[in-house]
Homo-oligomer: A and B are copies of this chain.
Amino acid sequence: MDPAVADLTPDPQMLDRLAEVAVKVGLNLQPGQDLVLTAPTGALPLVRRVAAAAYRAGAGLVTPILADEGVTLARYRNAADESFDRAPGWLYKGMAEAFAGGAARMAISGDNPMLLSGEDAAKVARAGKANSLAYKPAMKHIVEHDINWSIVAYPGTAWAKQVFPDLPDAEAVDALAKAIFAASRLNEPDPVAAWQAHNAELEARQRWLTDRQFHALRYSGPGTDFTLGLADGHAWRGGASKAKNGVVCNPNIPTEEVFTTPHARRAEGTVRASKPLAHQGSLIEGIEVRFEGGAIVEAKATKGEAVLQQLLASDEGARRLGEVALVPHSSPISQSGLLFYNTLFDENAASHIALGQCYSGCFRDTSLSEEALAAAGGNSSIIHVDWMIGSAEIDIDGLDADGTATPVMRGGEWASAV
C-alpha cells in the first residue's frame, strides 16, 4: 500500500530557489492574498518551501491540498465499482469559492506518470471524467484566468525513475532535479531577471502572430498533412500573462510555447503525434488521427489505443481542439532529448495541439460571453489534453482567408526573426 519507492529529497538550496521563482515569477503572489496549493504528498519538501516563500511574500493563508498515490492505489485495488463515478464535489466547490474570493492557485506536478498504467482503463476514464465534471466550477476560474495561477514541477522519485529507468534511485532524482532546475532557469545568476528577459522574447513572438491574424495554420511533415483553422479574433499568448484580477503571472514554470485558440469547427487532414502521450498513468504511443470539420473522425495508436478512445469519448468537445501551440525544436527542453512523461515539460519540447477546452483568454476580447466564444470557434469540454506534433521535420505556414501562405516555421524553427 505504501509507494514502492521511498521519496528522496533533492538539493535543498535549489528547492529554495525553485520556491522563490514559483511564488515571485509563477504566481507573483500579492501581499494579503491567500494561496491554494495542490501537490502530491511526495512533493512535501517543495510544498513547505513554497509555503514559506509565500508567507515571506505576505500571503494571507496558504492551504495545501495534498493527494496521495498510496490512497489512489488503495481505491483502484479495493473499491466497489460504483466508487469510480464519484468525485469530491464539496472540495472542488470550496476551491471555486476560494478562487472567487481572490485566492491564487499553485499546482505542484511531480506524480508518478505511470501510477495507473496497470489499472482498468475504463475505471481510470470514469474516475477522471467524474473528477473533471466536479472540478469544472473551480477550473472555470483558471481557464478564464480570473486569478493568478501557476504550475511548477518537483522531481518525485517514481517520476525520476520513469525518465531515467537505468539510473539508481538517487541518481535518477538528481538527474531529473537538474533538468527541472535548468528548465526553470534556476541556474541563472538572477532567475527572476532571466524570466523577465524570456517573457519579453515570448511577447514579441506573440505580438507578431496576433497581428497577422492568420485564418489557418497548415502543417506538413511525415504522417502529417493538416490544416487547422484559428478562432475569429484569436490572440496568441505565452510566458507571462495578466489575470483578470490584474496580477501578471507565469502560469507555467517552465514555459517555451506561444499558443492560441483554434477554430473548433475548422480542422481537416491527418496528424501524427511526434512523441508518446502520458495520460492519467497510461502511455499512448504512435497516435495518428484524421480530422473532418474540426472533429476527429478516425483515431489509432500503436499502444494505449483504448485509453485514447476513452479520452475522445469524454464528451462532444473531446474530439475537437482547444489549443494550438508553437515551440521551436531548438528550445532547451527539446534539446535535452528527454521524454518527461509530463505535459508541463513535454509540451515545451515541441509544437502541439490540445483536445478539449479552450482558453477564453486567447482572444483579443477577453470578456466574450460563452455564446460569443463558441461562435468565434472556441471549444468547450471537460478535458484539456496536450499532445505533441512538432519536430525538426515539420513545416508550418500561416494561411490568410484567400489562401496566401506566410512561412511560420521551417524544419521546426521559426521562419523569421521578430
Contact = CB atoms under 8 A, between A and B. Distances in A.
Nearest to A71: B51
Contacts of A189: none
7 contacts: A1-B45, A1-B49, A2-B9, A60-B82, A63-B91, A93-B94, A94-B97
Contact of A55 (B9, B55, B56, B80): B80
A47 B48 CA distance: 20
A86 B34 contact: yes
A48 B74 contact: yes
A75 B62 contact: yes
Copies of chain A in the complex: 2
A52 interface: yes
Contacts of A49: 1, 74
A223 interface: no
A63 B82 contact: no
A77 B93 CA distance: 31
A146 to B, nearest CB: 15
Given A51-B74, A78-B52, A80-B31, A98 B87 contact: no
A101 B90 contact: yes
Contacts of A48: 1-2, 68, 70-71, 74
A32 interface: yes
Interface of A: 1-2, 9, 31-32, 34, 41, 44-45, 47-49, 51-52, 55-56, 58-66, 68, 70-71, 74-75, 77-80, 82-83, 86-88, 90-91, 93-95, 97-98, 101, 103
A75 B51 contact: yes
A83 B70 contact: no
Nearest to A97: B90
Contacts of A103: 90
Nearest to A73: B48
A31 B82 CA distance: 10
A103 B55 CA distance: 33
B90 A94 contact: yes
Contacts of A59: 79-80, 83
Nearest to A60: B86
A205 to B, nearest CB: 37
A83 to B, nearest CB: 6
A2 B49 CA distance: 9
B80 A58 contact: yes
Contacts of A66: 41, 64, 66, 68
A389 B41 CA distance: 40
Nearest to A95: B90
Contacts of A32: 80, 82
Given A1-B45, A52-B74, A60-B86, 13 more contacts: A32-B82, A34-B86, A47-B68, A48-B74, A51-B71, A51-B74, A55-B79, A60-B83, A62-B74, A66-B68, A90-B95, A91-B91, A93-B97
